[in-house]
Amino acid sequence: MARLLDDAAEVLPLLSRDSGNPGLDLGAALGGAALAGRDKLVLEDQLSPINGLPDWIEQLVAESTGKQGRGILPVVGADPNGTGDELVVAIGSDVGDVRVDGPLGAQFLVWEYATAIAGHLLRIDPFDQPNVAESKDNTVALLSLPDLPTGAPAFVDGPVEAYAAATATDLPGLFAELLHAIPGDGYLAIMAYLDRLAAFDAPVQEGADFEQMTDAWMMADPATLRALLALRTDRPVTFGWGPRFLHSTGQYHKGGPQNGVFLQITGAVGDDVAVPGRPYTLGRLQLAQALGDLGALETRGRPAVRLHLTDRVAGVARLLAAAQEV
């Protein structure tokens, strides 16, 4: 912690300058690019010793700028597509349109300053989050009902139920419809209300090396769906774990531009846990959060589909197999 504060203190004097101010320069680049139509912020940090910073930047930029139909969409863990609406920011490398260097503490401070400047250029208030409270209110209302309104599936593909207004009758067809529905300036957001660590429980062949173990984990990980679908479109595909993303890209999904297509994934709960002092379980709470956010998207006319895994392990495997069939 002391080192982070020292790194931030070292860059702080630069943020009061009119020139040579890294926060001002970065904010002007982000906001100016977005005003010119380059509002997809591709974050590249593969060569950085502080790998993982883009996940924090994603929350900061998406939640701060996604409102009033405007905003900047951070894209994490993806390769650039070379489209005209991308701005590639490289952290510690020369592979992007903009390069940002510096230790972690300094990066935190510079990105916060830059996001405020970008918000000013976009003429929005970067310090509020109006649509985060909306999803919370929806969740509270749903939890007061005797039963959650899940509805009936449009079709069932093995261990996956599809709740969608679609003509498809199987998962490959549904994925194809979703990809086709993305506007020319839009994106696909995958939102998984699942256990982000469950993939590490996947069986691994005895004597497997690290690469084989990694392959086994990837093919049991819902996040792999992002990469598989991204291969089949030149539009950005993002991935968020629910309910975490509700306080980051969730604001952008509802308050940002009307150009997103949304794929939500929920799963059956095996061993549920009661919430102390509340008349519901964690499983019911999680599903209510998912349905509440889905309702917020649908009331805005944003294309949204929910896939429910009746068996989580088999369901993830079917999702990844179906994506490869598109």
Angstrom distance (rounded) from CA 221 to CA 213: 12
Return the H-helix or E-strand segment holding 28: helix 22-35
Per-residue pLDDT of the chain (326 residues; tens, 9 = 90+): 788 888 889 999 999 999 999 999 999 999 999 999 999 999 988 767 777 899 999 999 999 999 999 999 999 989 999 999 999 999 988 888 999 999 999 999 999 999 999 999 999 999 988 888 888 899 999 999 999 999 999 999 999 999 998 899 999 999 999 999 999 999 999 999 999 898 888 888 888 888 888 888 899 999 999 999 999 999 999 999 999 999 889 999 999 999 999 999 999 998 899 999 999 999 999 999 999 999 999 999 999 999 999 999 999 999 999 999 99
Beta bridge partners of 43: 76, 89
pLDDT of residue 12: 93
Neighbours of 234 (CB within 10 A): 10
Closest CA to 192 of 245, 264, 290: 264
The sign one gets for the Cα dihedral 70, 74, 75, 79 is: positive
Q: Give the homologous superfamily in CATH for domain 2-122.
A: Glucose-6-phosphate isomerase like protein; domain 1 (3.40.50.10490)
**Digit-coded pLDDT (tens) for 111-168:** 999 999 999 999 999 998 888 888 889 999 999 999 999 999 999 999 999 999 889 9
Fill in the amino acid letter for 120.
H
Please say whether the beta carbons of 158 and 307 come within 8 A. no
Please say whether the beta carbons of 89 and 97 come within 8 A. yes
237-241 and 40-44 beta bridge pairing: unpaired
Angstrom distance (rounded) from CA 54 to CA 58: 6
Take residue 26 and report the two structure tokens written for it: 């970065």
The burial class, CB within 10 Å (0-12 / 13-18 / 19+), for 133 is: exposed
Coil, helix or strand at residue 126: coil
Number of helices (H), then strands (E), belonging to the chain: the values are 11, 10
Could you state, in order of their start, the residue ranges of all structural domains in the chain? 2-122, 130-325
Residue pointed to by tokens 């590490």: 200
For residue 281, the 8-state DSSP code is: B
Angstrom distance (rounded) from CA 69 to CA 216: 41
Angstrom distance (rounded) from CA 182 to CA 193: 22
Q: How far is CA 211 from the centre of its chain?
A: 26
Angstrom distance (rounded) from CA 152 to CA 133: 28
Angstrom distance (rounded) from CA 284 to CA 81: 39
Question: Do the domains 130-325 and 2-122 match in fold?
Answer: yes
pLDDT of residue 129: 86
CATH topology of domain 130-325: Rossmann fold (3.40.50)
pLDDT of residue 47: 66
Fill in the amino acid letter for 83.
T
Q: How far is CA 175 from the centre of its chain?
A: 18
**Digit-coded pLDDT (tens) for 75-122:** 998 999 999 999 999 998 888 899 999 999 999 999 999 999 999 999
Fill in the amino acid letter for 99.
R
The string of DSSP letters for 313-325 reads HHHHHHHHHHHHH
